[in-house]
Structure formats: C-alpha cells, structure tokens
C-alpha cells in the first residue's frame, strides 16, 4: 500500500480515487481536515477495505511514525499543504506551519523509519512531494516555460513556503539518501475543488447570479492542468521517476484569467442555458504581488516517462462545469460559514 497525506483535499481526494481505480492498491489517507478537507470527497470508498482514512496532522511525528510502522507503505505521496495565495497574504503563519514545518516533520519521521528497513525495501521505497510552479516566480510574456532547472524566485508567502519544502525534500535525498521525487505542477482544475479558486468560484457565483470577480485587468496568464491528468502524471513519476529528480507537470493550456472566465461562462451556457453569465464579470482590485505569468515546459516528463495531458482546456472545462452543475448538494455543503466569510473578506471591494 501507499500512504497519502492531504488526501481529503482537492488534488488529494482526486488522486486517492484515481489511484484505487487505476491500480487497485490500498491507500492510507491522512488529512487534518481543515476548511478545504472534505471526507465527502471520497464517500464512494466508505465500504472499500482498500481505503483507510486517518484524521491527523503531518506535523504529528508520533502519529506519522505509528502509521509507517503499522502499514509499512512502499511510498509516501505528500499532498498536504496550505495552497491559496490570497489566504497566505492575509495569514502566512499557517503556511509556514504546514508547508515548511509539517513537511520537515513528515520527511524526518519518514527518514528515521526508512533507515530501519531492510536494504531491499529501502531501495524500493519512494517519497513523492507534490509542489507548484509558483516557486519559480513570474515569467515575462515571451519567456520560455519553467523547466526543472529554472531558478526559484517565489513571490508570495504561499510560494515561498512551498519553495522551502521543495528544498527540504531535495536536501533529504542528497544528505540522507532518502529516495525522493518532486513534482511541480501548473494550476489544477476539475471536480471537488474548493470554490475559493478561480474556476469553481466562477461556476458557483454564476449559478447564483453573483458577480464574477476578476483581479486587475484579467490578463494574468496561467497554464491549466486538468486534475485527472495530474493524477496520471503523479502515478507515472512514482512508478518510473529517478530518485532525487524533479518533474514539471503542465497542461499545455496557457490562458489569461479573463479568457478562462469567459470560457467558463460559455460552458455554463451550454449545460445550463439562461442568463448572460458573462455580464456578471466584475473587475476588482488586484491582489498584492500578483505574478503576471506562469507556464510549464513539460518536456522532461514527456520524454523520460511518456506522459502528456489527455484533456484540452476546452474538454476539461466542459467536464468540470458539468460536474459542478450536477453536484449542487456538494457545492451547498462547502459554500457556507467560513467560506462565505472568506469571500466577503477578499472580494467585497
């Protein structure tokens, strides 16, 4: 079996569901269940003996050590993270605690346990750390996409905390020999994403007839990666990646934020005809230090591991919008209480 951290979040729950469907291999799923962690995301696995859920913190060394000793996973996939730039601007401490201190504790506890294994199990073990393209900073409009050798230049508390965790993972391979792997992905979208992020926020607001807030001039560029393609890439890296290596995962789908929002509106009009959703677009004050452009060069993972995204942005966004339209109960459950307060804090102006 494998141990997955952060498996109740957006990417984590998609990965757990994808992993069991694709491989049939058991998963121990550890998640702290903060605001974006949702056990309903893996309700389909409620009676599946291949899925063991444990509510816990990666910063709890005693818990992590006990789980490693009990289950003896062949791999740890670290998806546990605070992951939203806006939240990191308003409250950076939680990002340092989880992304830096938590990753360190998980790494160090895993290293101690890994060192006690027989040589064959040590060699077969992998620690895969999932990170972000934001650690590389902002690209000029005509610059080549981020590669695995692009210098780090994080510009937000979130990206700085992820950069620190990446450096720890690298150091634990080079200093202690832990067989680590790191992936840096572009912006994910798809089912089960908490609607603080751009695409689900637009879908939820549009369906409610609320304004669609777009930062600044809307011309910030991101590369978009469908979450199912990301899950397949993680599986490929875990199976065939070189220990100590980094792999950048992108969707080959660079778009400005305003074009993303317009595409969401068009997809909504297809599956829920009615109001002019695009008329709800509202430009709001830009966030501090907003990086202008991210883009991924996925040549390494394509050439070495044979992975390429299957979804285009057009096909992926149609699947995503349809999922939110068809899962109104899930949306209603997560868009209450703390979520509404957060939206008011960040977009009221």
Active site residues: 133-134, 158
Alpha-carbon distances of 191 from 133, 204, 295, 319, 347, rounded to whole Å: 21, 13, 22, 8, 23
Residues 55 and 94 sit within 8 Å (Cβ to Cβ): no
- Tell which residue, 80, 86, 87, has the closest CA to residue 104: 80
DSSP-assigned beta bridge partners for residue 182: 129, 246
Residues 253 and 273 sit within 8 Å (Cβ to Cβ): no
Alpha-carbon distances of 285 from 111, 159, 218, 221, 288, rounded to whole Å: 45, 21, 11, 17, 9
Distance CA 344, CA 260 (A): 22
Phi, psi of 304 (to 5 degrees): -85, -35
């Amino acid at each position: 079996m494998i141990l997955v951290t952060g498996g109740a979040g957006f990417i984590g729950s998609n990965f757990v569901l994808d992993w069991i469907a694709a491989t049939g291999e058991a998963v121990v799923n550890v998640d702290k269940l903060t605001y974006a962690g949702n056990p309903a995301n893996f309700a389909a696995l409620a009676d599946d003996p291949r899925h063991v859920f444990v509510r816990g913190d990666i910063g709890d060394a005693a818990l992590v050590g006990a789980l490693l000793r009990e289950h003896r996973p062949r791999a740890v996939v670290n998806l546990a993270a605070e992951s939203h730039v806006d939240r990191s601007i308003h409250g950076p401490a939680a990002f340092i605690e989880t992304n830096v201190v938590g990753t360190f504790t998980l790494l160090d506890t895993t290293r101690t346990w890994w060192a006690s294994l027989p040589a064959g199990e040590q060699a077969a073990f992998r620690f895969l750390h999932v990170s972000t393209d934001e650690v590389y900073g902002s690209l000029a409009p005509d610059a080549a996409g981020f590669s695995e050798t692009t210098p780090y230049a994080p510009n937000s508390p979130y990206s700085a905390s992820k950069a620190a965790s990446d450096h720890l993972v690298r150091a634990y391979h080079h200093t202690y020999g832990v067989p680590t792997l790191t992936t840096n992905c572009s912006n994910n979208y798809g089912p089960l994403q908490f609607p603080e992020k751009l695409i689900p926020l637009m879908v939820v607001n549009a369906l409610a007839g609320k304004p669609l807030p777009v930062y600044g001039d809307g011309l910030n560029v991101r590369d978009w990666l469908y979450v199912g393609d990301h899950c397949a890439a993680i599986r490929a890296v875990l199976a065939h990646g070189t220990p100590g290596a980094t792999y950048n995962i992108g969707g080959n789908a660079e778009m400005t934020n305003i074009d993303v929002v317009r595409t969401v509106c068009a997809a909504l009009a297809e599956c829920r005809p009615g109001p002019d959703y695009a008329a709800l677009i509202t430009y709001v004050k830009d966030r501090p230090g907003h990086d202008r452009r991210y883009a991924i060069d996925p040549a390494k993972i394509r050439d070495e591991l044979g992975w390429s995204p299957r979804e285009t942005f057009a096909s992926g966004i149609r699947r995503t919008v349809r999922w939110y339209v068809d899962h109104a109960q899930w949306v209603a459950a997560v868009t209450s209480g703390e979520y509404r307060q957060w939206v008011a804090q960040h977009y009221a102006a």
